């Protein structure tokens, strides 16, 4: 008798869980992650319009590290599956005239912590305050 009750309780619990999931899916719209603004969006034609590494667009950022000029860049890359994608980054240029040999390139990357826009700290102006490359 105890096993029958236990099995009935398990079935009842699963029904409640499944019902809650169905109701939640009806209430909350579930959609794929979206770019957080026009700066981060590119059409398939724009993405296919050049080789990996080529720039789709760039725009000056309102904030930058002290003495630098920052640009938000959207450029072409490939996914782990080899498909063309658009990715973004920030380029910081010193304010002085570049030496004859050009500026040395320093790449600094901070891993993302999620797939939703609020998880990407690059989009926030405070990103330069957190960057060890931004100076003392």
- pLDDT, one tens digit for every residue, the chain (136 residues): 555 567 777 777 778 877 877 777 667 665 555 556 677 788 899 999 999 999 999 988 877 777 888 888 999 999 888 899 998 888 888 888 888 998 888 777 665 554 555 554 444 445 555 555 444 4
Radius of gyration of the CA atoms of the chain, in A: 24
Give, in order, the Cα–Cα distances in Å from 86 to each of 11, 27, 40.
46, 32, 8
15: left (phi over 0), alpha (psi -120 to 50) or beta: alpha
Give, in order, the Cα–Cα distances in Å from 110 to each of 57, 93, 131, 135.
22, 19, 9, 16
At residue 75, the pLDDT reads: 92
At residue 102, the pLDDT reads: 87
At residue 94, the pLDDT reads: 86
At residue 122, the pLDDT reads: 46
CB 22, CB 42: distance < 8 Å: no
Distance in angstroms (rounded) separating the CA atoms of residues 136 and 126: 15
């Amino acid at each position: 008798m105890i096993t029958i009750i236990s099995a009935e309780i398990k079935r009842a619990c699963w029904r409640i869980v499944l019902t809650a999931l169905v109701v939640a899916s009806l209430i909350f719209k579930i959609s794929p992650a979206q770019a957080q603004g026009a700066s981060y969006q590119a059409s398939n034609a724009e993405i296919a319009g050049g080789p990996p590494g080529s720039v789709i667009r760039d725009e000056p950022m309102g904030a930058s590290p002290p003495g630098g000029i920052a640009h938000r860049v959207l450029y072409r890359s490939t996914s782990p599956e080899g498909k063309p994608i658009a990715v973004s980054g920030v380029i910081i240029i010193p304010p002085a005239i570049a030496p004859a040999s050009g500026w040395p390139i320093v790449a600094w990357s901070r891993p993302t912590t999620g797939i939703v826009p609020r998880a990407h700290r690059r989009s926030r102006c405070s990103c330069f305050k957190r960057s060890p490359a931004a100076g003392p």
